[in-house]
Structures are given as C-alpha cells and as structure tokens.
Structure 1
Amino acid sequence: MRKIIVFRLGLTAAAPIFLADGAYAQVIDNYFPAIGSGAGELAQEPAQVRAMGAYTPLGKRYGPLRIDADGSESEGYASNVDRNVGGHSSAVVSTQGNLSAVSRWGKRDQVHGNINVDDIRYPSRSIQNRTNWTANLGGVHDFGHDTIGVSYTHLSLVQMPTDLGALIVNRPVPYQVDDGRLSYTATTHGRLSIIPQVDVQRYHFDYFTPTANQPSQGYRDRVLVTEGVTAQYELRGNSHVLLVMQGTEIRYQNPLENAPSRDSNGASVMAGYDFGMRGPLRFRALVGYQTRRYRASAYGSINSPMAEAELSWVPTRLTTATLSVRHGIEDSAFENVVGYTFTGARIGVTHTYQRNIVFSAYGQIQKANYPSAPAFLQNTVLYQEHNNQTFYGVGAEVQWLINRHMRLSANYDFSSQNTVGSGQFPIHTFLVGFHLSL
C-alpha cells in the first residue's frame, strides 16, 4: 500500500504543520531514513531554515536538552472528502500538535524523541473523520571511531481509497505500524565505511465490520524483516559512492481462507552516488535491481529495476528547488494481487520573500502497475486483468511568519486521480491555518 502526501518543504525540522488531504505520497517514507543511511540519525535543517534566524522557533533549552512544541488549527473546504467517484464535499477542520526533544553531547552522541497528532474533521461527512498519531525514539552513540544507532517508531494511520494499492472502501481503514532499526557504522582508517543494519516492521490493520465488497483487513497483517549492509566510500569532502545490498522476508499473520500463502522473500542490490553540496547543487541517486519471490507458486515472482534520485538546487539562501524520482516494488492491499511496481516523481519550489513571507509550490505524479491476478482465480469475482492507477497533483501555499512563535498560512491543492476500475476524478482543497510554536 502506498500513500500519497503533499510535497512541501517545511520551515522547521519538525513535520509540516498540515498536509492537505487532496494529495498524498508514501507516508511510511516520511518517518524512516533513506536507503543506505544509519538508524537513529536526526535530519539536518535546510539552509533556508538557518537563514531565517529571526523567525525560527527557539524552543526551550535545559543544558544539553532542547524541547520544541508546536500546534496549528486549519479550516477550509474539500470538494471530495470520500476520495472516490461521486464523493461528498465538506468543510474541513484540521488540528495538529507536535512535541519533540533532543539531547546532544560529546562529538556525535544524541538521543531524541517525538510525538505528533493530526486530527481531521469533516462536519458534513463525519464517516471520514480520522486521527493519525506517530511517536519516535532514537539515538546514536559514538565509540570514538565507530557509531551505533537505534530507533523505534510507532505509526497510527489510516488508508484511503486513493492510496495506491488500496481497496476501494467508503471510509478510512485504520492501521498500525511498529518499526525497530539497529545499525552499526564501522569506519576504517581510510575513506571506507561499512554499515550493517537490520529493520523489523510489523503491520496491523484494525478491525471493522466486513461486508461482501469490503472484507476485514486482518489478512494484511504482516511482519517484514530487512537485513542489509552498505559500503560507503568518501571521494572528497561530503561526496560518497554507495553500494547497498538487502534481503527482505515478509510473513503474513492471518492467511486468507482457501488462498495460497502471501509470504515472500526478496533481495536487492543498488549502487549510488551522493554528489554532496557543490555550490548551489546537491545530487544523490541509487539504482539497482529488486526481486521478490512468493512462497506459493501461484503468485510467481516480481522482478523490477529500482531507483531513487534527488536533485536539490539552492540558488540563494532563500530559494530551494527539489526534484525527486522513485521506482520499485510495493505491497498491495488487494486479495487477488500481492505486489505491484510503483513509479513516482515530484518537484517543489520554496522562496522566502523578505525573510518572513514564504511562497511554495509543487507538482507530482505517481503511477502503480498491477499484474494480472493469478490463474487459480480465473472465473471468480476476484480475477483481475493487468491494471494501473495514476495520481496527478499540484498545489501552492503562502505563509506569513509573524514572529518566532506565530504564523498564518493559506494553501490550495488540486489532484486528479483514479481508483482501480474508475475514471479520473478531480479533488480541490482550500485551507487557511494559524500556527503556534514554542
């Protein structure tokens, strides 16, 4: 299942204040590190954030400990809150809060925690009301030459019918993700670093009353174990070459009745290059090949090239443009299709005017290609021919930074997308928000 999220360059190190419901991306990727990176690391603030020193929230400091908190209230209108053909319109009320803490000491030692709550209400369509929350703990210990990183993340989210790989349901489907990661970075006396790591994820879908067209989602409960090793060689400065090898085991907890096991084993090999920051440009990319073989011969196997790339351009301290692309294999929510290939690209531009007026815009496209259902489902209601699903989205936002603690925002998002078996349908979302920071 792949979730689509509005692409927006945040103004703080925390998550964006509000993610408009009309356009979504792989939400899981927003909480977990990029392929080949270690566990427990903290993301660096972009140059644009550092440049707006007079408007950057300071948080509270107690010795080595820094605490940050923020909250927002956004209201507006969405033309299709069901995210489906013929869906209902409604006013939107979104409330979000975030609390984070980080403590640093020594050269690279740090421990951090974060909790975020996002509540969305539709007064005219209460069946679509939902609350997401996430929590994360992580840290890094420096041994003087090597480092060890560990992190744990809990996500309480919902699936919508426009999520790529999702079922066409008329209400949010809540699910939980627990993720634990451990990595060790061994640095040689030369320029080579070796990073072995392991990641364990558990997916659990909450119960809702099934119907003939909407079965209980318990069959999607699964555990994913990914083991990998990354070899990183420093060419010069912060420029690196990467080689990443990974193995993945997926085990489903509640098999579908009278259906083959969906369990699978997979492997991938990728080579990459991180250009680092050279003047106004930064480029990094990983390309390789991925395979997934299912325990049941009825499902066969999926083989696909995989790639991740990102190009950032910072022509001034107040302007940032980013282009990113991704292609690979994802898990499906359908009973009759266990996996599919995903391709996505997005571009975003953010510009700060006079240091306290921030303009941003984005555009994105995401596409899922589903294989035909296995032969044993022919002549049944579950059989499906090769199919695809496409999402297009654009949007713009303006923020007025009143001071370090308050800001106002207004944004508009448009998407055109289809659920499996339907034509394209547009969704418009308008929001105005007020934000407070510690």
Structure 2
Amino acid sequence: MKRIKAGLVSDAFGGRAWLAISEDRAVCFVATATAFFMLFVSQANAQAIPLNNEDVAPPWNALQVFAPTPLPDFRDPDNSDPVPPEDMPVRNRQQPGYEPVGIRYGSWMFNPSLLGGGFFDSNVFSSSTTKHSDIAAVVEPKLRAHTLWERHGIDLKLDAQSMIYNQFSSLNQDNISLKGSGWLDVARDLKVLGSFQVAHLNEGVGTLSSPVNAISPTPYNLFSGDIAVRKEFNRLAASIGMGVKSYDYQSTQAQDGSIINQDGRDGQIYTVRGRLDYAFSPFLGWFASVEGNQREVRGTPGHTLDSSGYRALSGVTLGRANLLSGEIGGGYVSQQFDDPTIGTISGPSYHASLLWRPTRLLDIRARAEQLVTETSDTSSNGVLANAFQLGADYELLRNVVISLAGGYETDRFFGQTRKDNVTSTDARVKYMLNRFSSVSVYHRYTDRKSDIPTFSYEKHLVGVNVTAQF
C-alpha cells in the first residue's frame, strides 16, 4: 500500500511584485514579497497539485519557471505613481491602517506574529471504513526579518507550529522551519537571486504520502537551496537557475504498535531550469520555459524510485490592464524511472493560470496543470496528475475578504492498476480587526474516489484562527 509523495513535487511560493528602479516600486516589491515568506509549509493534502497557491512575479519567477509572469510596465519609472491597494489582487492587497507596524532596528525590519486557533476534522485518519473525528488546537509563532536597503536584500522567516489533538494524542505534531532568500542587484537589468529552507516537518496521518495503517505523523527533515540569474534585454527577459532538495524521513507507528520504517523515502532532487519572456506589447507576450530534474529516491529493496526527466512549455502571456492577466502554455513532459515496472511517463503537457478582475472588489482565478510525481512508500509507482481549479476572492469590506475555491484532479498510477479522482473545495473568511489582529474561519472538503477502495475517503475540516501581529 502506498501514498503519493506529494512533498517532492512543488513548494508553495507567495505573491511578489516587480523590483523596479524607483523607490516607490521598491517599496511595492518589499510589501508584496512578504506573502512569499508568510507562507508556512502545510500538511500534505489529498492532491498532488495544491488547491491554493499564490502568484509568482518577477524577479522571483526565476526560481519557479512554470509560474505565470506579469508583463513588464512600460511606463517611465521616474514618473510612475505607486500602485494603489485597489489595483492589487484582492488576496495580496494591504489597505492603509491594516498593514503590520514592525520593529525597526537600523536597516532591518522585524515582524513578529502569533496565530492561535483550532479545527474539527471529520475523518482524522482519512479512512474509507472506520471514520474518527476529533478537534485540535493549533499554535503558530512566526518571526520575519528583512532588510530595508535601497539595493539588494535579505529576507528571513522563522516559523513554528504545534498541533494538539483532544482525543487522538498520537496525531500531535511539532514543526519548525527557517526560510531565507536574497537578491543582488548586479546592474539595473541583472539580478542574482537565491533561497534556502531548513526544516523539521511532519506529514499528517492519512495524507497521500503517509502509510495507510499509521497512527502517528511521519516526521522528516528538509534541506533545500535555489539560485538563479535573471537578465533583461529591453522587451526580452531571460533567467537560468538550479536547485536541490534533500529529504530525510524518520519512522512512524502502526495501528498494531509496530514501527514503520520510512528510510525508503529518503533522497534528493536536483533541478536545472531556464525561461525566456518577450513582451510584444503591454497586453501580450510570449514565454518558453524548461526544467530538467534528477531524482535520487531510495525506494524499497528491488524497487528504486530513481528517475530523470524534463518538462518544457511555451505559450502566451496576457495582460489586459487590470482586467485579465496570466498565461497559457503547452508542451511536453517526460520522466524515466529506473524501475522497469514504472518505465517512462511521457506525453503532451499543459499549464494555464489566469486572473480575471471584473471589478476592483472581485478576483476570479482559473488554473489547469499537469505534472509527474511518484509514490514512495511500500512499493513504487509513478503518478501523472491533472488538475483543474477555479477560485474567487471578494473584498466585502476593506477589512473583510471572502475566498472560495474548488478543484478536480485525476491521478493516474503507473506500476499498478489504479486511477483516483479528487474533488475538493476551500472556503474562508478573513476579518482584519486592525493592524495588530485578525480572525479567519475556513472550511475544507475533500472527496477522493479510487479504483482501490482502501484509498477512497471523504472528510470535512472546519477551523478558526486568531492572529496577533506587529
């Protein structure tokens, strides 16, 4: 029995803005870049492709070449006004009077925050037969530190998270993560960017990459690093980069009290990537991106998960003022596994990410994605995942935002006869009391239907969070 190794697929990057030459644009970049480091690595969920993900904007798309890239602003930076909050996407905008204050020390700014909350899970083990519900408390202290330099920059984020269950104490878990990034302005049109993460995390019981009969989360250590160079040639922008992720999994406990060894999931993923963007006008552009990978995952005796492959996409970038933006692309994906029972997974690939803003109060997002990943539990499988997602963010009041999202994903397994269909929804309301505190409530629904009944389940997650920040 096995679960998808979703953690090796992708990381959640937050929304960021263009780092331009003018002081106003630099301020805009720092403000929106905050979202990238405010995201904490969450539990693995039912999908290989996350339902909620933030946009990536230059220059940070150099670290994630398959994220949509806004078209450049052709206005004179010396005569351009700063972007008002109402012209920013709803989920990223910070209205005056609700932004964090921060603590300044020289050229550094520190932003501490503390989240406390709880949630109800209707099926804590994601079981198809024996369903157990429980409530849990969540505590998440965070500290962000970033520079205020006119050029270059460093941004650090320290997160901790504790989950304490009321009835099933074996589900308790503690996570801690240190993320960092930096950028070096070599010249006006040349930037070097880098990021890293050192973390001790847990994959929750019942998630796709957890053993089916586990009663405790699966702890693991993550070490990752990325570096990229981005160069602009007037209307043409090019980037090239490389990265590595290293996973070290520990053991978990089974229902019968035995220990489940997870060393077979240890491994490294090496990537190299490049991207070209050309702007025909402020409303239309072209892109081409490619990423190659070498995956060295231990697997189980006789079933290695080592593989190598690539993904290449090309398409158009759209930017109709504040109305429609995003990109649509198609290409090819191929992943060749050393294990002959999996073989090579290849074929046409696609990617689409669009943002439609019919009004300044409403954002509608659409996304379609395909990628190849693998399971890495008690046996070996490759997975071809296809996801279609639709979401909306509505600013009911300046300090109240309502977000709704839904998704449908199909997971086709190679190495066994299995195909899963996943339907999911996510609804949340965020109420910002002032610049020091906010309250949010959310509901998540997941319904996985599998050819193998053991992997089918349905669950609801309802929670509330209170955040204090400075």
TM-score category, normalised to shorter length: 0.7 to 0.9
Q: Secondary structure at the match of 2:93?
A: helix
Tell me if 1:178 matches 2:223. yes
Counterpart selection for 1:246 from 282, 286, 291? 291
> What is residue 202 of structure 1 aligned with on the other side?
246
Q: Which one is further off, 169-178 or 59-68?
A: 59-68
Tell me if 1:2 matches 2:6. yes
Tell me if 1:129 matches 2:172. yes
Q: Which one is further off, 142-151 or 295-304?
A: 295-304
Could you tell me how far apart the structure 1 residues matched to 2:170 and 2:350 are? Answer: 38
> What is residue 403 of structure 2 aligned with on the other side?
360
Tell me if 1:47 matches 2:79. no
Tell me if 1:91 matches 2:135. yes
Q: Secondary structure at the match of 1:53?
A: coil
Q: Which ranges of structure 2 fall in alignment gaps of 5 or more residues?
A: 16-31, 71-84
- Give the letter for the 1:153 counterpart: Q
Could you tell me how far apart the structure 1 residues matched to 2:454 and 2:114 are? Answer: 38
How far the C-alpha of 1:174 sits from its partner, in A, is 1.7
How far the C-alpha of 1:135 sits from its partner, in A, is 1.8
Counterpart selection for 2:447 from 412, 416, 422? 416
Could you tell me how far apart the structure 1 residues matched to 2:382 and 2:44 are? Answer: 25
Could you tell me how far apart the structure 2 residues matched to 1:217 and 1:279 are? Answer: 48
Tell me if 1:234 matches 2:279. yes
Q: Map residues 290-301 of structure 1 onto 2, 5 A cutoff.
A: 290-301=333-344
How far the C-alpha of 1:212 sits from its partner, in A, is 11
Q: In 2, are the aligned partners of 1:158 and 1:173 still within 8 Å (CA)?
A: yes
Q: Secondary structure at the match of 2:435?
A: coil
> What is residue 119 of structure 1 aligned with on the other side?
162
Could you tell me how far apart the structure 2 residues matched to 1:367 and 1:37 are? Answer: 27
Could you tell me how far apart the structure 1 residues matched to 2:251 and 2:43 are? Answer: 26
Could you tell me how far apart the structure 2 residues matched to 1:40 and 1:395 are? Answer: 25
How far the C-alpha of 1:149 sits from its partner, in A, is 0.9
Residue deviations 1:43-101, cap 9 Å, x none? Answer: 99943343522222232334543222222111242211112221311122111222112
How far the C-alpha of 1:291 sits from its partner, in A, is 1.0
Could you tell me how far apart the structure 1 residues matched to 2:228 and 2:362 are? Answer: 34
Q: In 2, are the aligned partners of 1:304 and 1:328 still within 8 Å (CA)?
A: no
Q: Secondary structure at the match of 2:434?
A: coil
- Give the letter for the 2:321 counterpart: R
Counterpart selection for 2:466 from 417, 429, 434? 434
- Give the letter for the 1:233 counterpart: Y
Change (3 A) 1:427 1:256: closer
Counterpart selection for 1:267 from 310, 316, 321? 310
Q: Secondary structure at the match of 1:56?
A: coil
Counterpart selection for 1:158 from 199, 202, 211? 202
Q: Which one is further off, 277-286 or 80-89?
A: 277-286
Change (3 A) 1:256 1:273: same
Q: Secondary structure at the match of 1:38?
A: helix
How far the C-alpha of 1:199 sits from its partner, in A, is 1.0
- Give the letter for the 1:2 counterpart: A
Could you tell me how far apart the structure 2 residues matched to 1:66 and 1:179 are? Answer: 25
How far the C-alpha of 1:181 sits from its partner, in A, is 0.7
> What is residue 431 of structure 2 aligned with on the other side?
400
Q: Which ranges of structure 1 fall in alignment gaps of 5 or more residues?
A: 374-384
Could you tell me how far apart the structure 1 residues matched to 2:51 and 2:425 are? Answer: 21
Q: Which one is further off, 264-273 or 143-152?
A: 264-273
Counterpart selection for 1:142 from 185, 196, 199? 185
**TM-score using structure 1 length:** 0.83
Q: Secondary structure at the match of 2:380?
A: coil
Change (3 A) 1:192 1:404: same
Q: Map residues 16-55 of structure 1 onto 2, 5 A cutoff.
A: 26=49, 37-39=61-63, 46-48=88-90, 49-50=92-93, 52-55=95-98
State the superposition RMSD in angstroms.
3.6
Q: In 2, are the aligned partners of 1:40 and 1:138 still within 8 Å (CA)?
A: no
How far the C-alpha of 1:226 sits from its partner, in A, is 0.9
Alignment identity in percent?
A: 18
Tell me if 1:221 matches 2:266. yes
How far the C-alpha of 1:208 sits from its partner, in A, is 3.4
How far the C-alpha of 1:369 sits from its partner, in A, is 1.0
**TM-score using structure 2 length:** 0.78
Q: In 2, are the aligned partners of 1:398 and 1:409 still within 8 Å (CA)?
A: yes
Residue deviations 1:306-325, cap 9 Å, x none? Answer: 32221112233332221222
How far the C-alpha of 1:423 sits from its partner, in A, is 6.5
Could you tell me how far apart the structure 2 residues matched to 1:68 and 1:430 are? Answer: 28
